[in-house]
Chains A and B, each alone.
Chain A
Amino acid sequence: MIPRERCTYSAIVDRPRLKLPNQARIVVWTIVNLEFWSISRTMARQVLPAPTGEVLVPDVPNWSWHEYGMRVGVWRFFDLFARLGIRPTVSINARVCREYRRVARAAREAGWEFMGHAWEQMPIHKVGDQAKMIVRSLDTLARFAGNRPVGWLGPGLTETYETPDLLAAAGIRYIGDWVYDDEPTEIRTTHGPLITLPYSVELNDIPMMLVQHHESAYFTQRCIDSFERLYREGAERAKIMAIAIHPYISGQPHRIKYLEAVYEHINRYDGVLHWNGIEILDWYLSAKAEL
């Protein structure tokens, strides 16, 4: 199914207004991405191109750059979110539960929500048997976390035309790949409706830092600019603001303070909820039912 067959166009101004509980204006949804990069393939991202620009395998420098996030960077995240009392959603390659058991355990112990994020970090188009990979990933996460994830984010948000059908068939209830709205929406699949949550490619350290090469400090600026506008609009209708981060990017010593500054700013406001994906999903389904 192409996207148009899953949903029709809808202008946000034409929809009934969703409301958050207790006059809250905005939900901040923090997503920490934990990945496994196989040394036997091209690295998912590169900080350092090889001399002459060739893509080489093995690519040890870029592999170890990502590895820094799991060894060092992610512990800055755990520390920050423990201090703030925020329990993010962790978008996690299932293989992380095996290869970085220590990290996955810390996320589980901190009460973070586990969201499916494929088996390992590669475009879903290149996965031979997608249905099998999805089930295997969810089974692995379910065994590790104690409950089966209800959310899914494709690696790099990638999907084929069939992916939403396969996800719904595997019991997934929300996805983050459709960054096309400020609000959750419902799309059609061959296995019933699936909810999209407004994940972000704008407040996301990959496009900002690795694709657009902004200075570290710009992360704070863009998040605050988005927050202030959405907070204003939140007086009229519920707003959701996702912040998507990766330990090998935002967990670097020169970037972490700019992430901290975002939450320092946001938490000065009343009516801000820090929710994970399941909480947003549950609220949306009940708010929609009341319309």
Chain B
Amino acid sequence: MLPSERLDFSPIDQRPNLALPDGARLAVWVIVNVEEWDPTQPMPRTVLTPPAGGAPMPDIPNWAWHEYGNRVGFWRMLEVLDHFRIRAVLAVNGSAIRRYEPIARAARERGWEFIGHDGVGKRSRLRQHFGALSAELLGEIAAQFVELAVERPNFGEQQREPGNDEGCQHPESQDEHQGSRCSCRPSSTPSVSPFQ
């Protein structure tokens, strides 16, 4: 279906006003993208082009550059989000749940929402070739999410159960940004399968 077949054109100023609860003005939606880049395929992004151009394969430097994000960079972002008590959305490649399991566990521990973000490079290309997300692929990706949800690894005594946030403990964030609302929310079970 073409996008134009999915919905009719609608200019924003001719729609009824949607209102947020309690007079809030704005919802901030933080999405952390965690991906797995297949080192046998061209890299989705590059920071460094090879000498004299072209795209020689394999592309180890750009693979390693992305890998830095999952080994080091993600954990800095987690500190920031923890500090402001923001529960983000994890848009995660199905294969990355297993490959980068500490990341998926950290997100689940904090009650982040998980959203589907395809499989891994090779499968994405298959999808492009055939023009459709096959039921089989969908099932495989969903299985990764389900596996994460049912598995109960031992996190030790220090584990903070998801949904333990008892009200806002961040008066400073409200003082500093008058009129804004702290992102602390009532607890809820994280949605673990985006395909239900």
Contact = CB atoms under 8 A, between A and B. Distances in A.
A45 interface: yes
Q: How many B residues are at the interface, by size bracket?
A: 20 to 34
B60 interface: yes
Contacts of B63: 3
A14 interface: yes
B75 A177 contact: no
A207 interface: yes
A211 B48 CA distance: 7
Contacts of B52: 41-44, 122-123
Given A41-B52, A158-B61, A180 B40 contact: no
B61 A179 contact: yes
Contact of A207 (B48, B67, B70): B48
A263 B103 CA distance: 35
A269 interface: no
Contacts, number: 100
Interface stretch (A4-12, A23-31, A132-140): A4-12
Given A11-B102, A202-B47, A179 B65 contact: yes
Name A's interface SS. Answer: loop
Which of A157, A161, A211: most chain B CB closer than 10 A? A157
Contact of A45 (B51, B54, B61, B75): B51
Interface string B75-92: 100000000000000000
A110 interface: no
A207 B51 contact: no
A74 B153 CA distance: 55
Contact of A211 (B49, B67, B99, B103): B49
Nearest to A44: B51
A213 interface: no
B194 interface: no
Nearest to B99: A9
Interface of A: 2-4, 9-14, 41-45, 55, 121-123, 125-126, 154-161, 163, 177-182, 201-202, 204, 206-207, 211
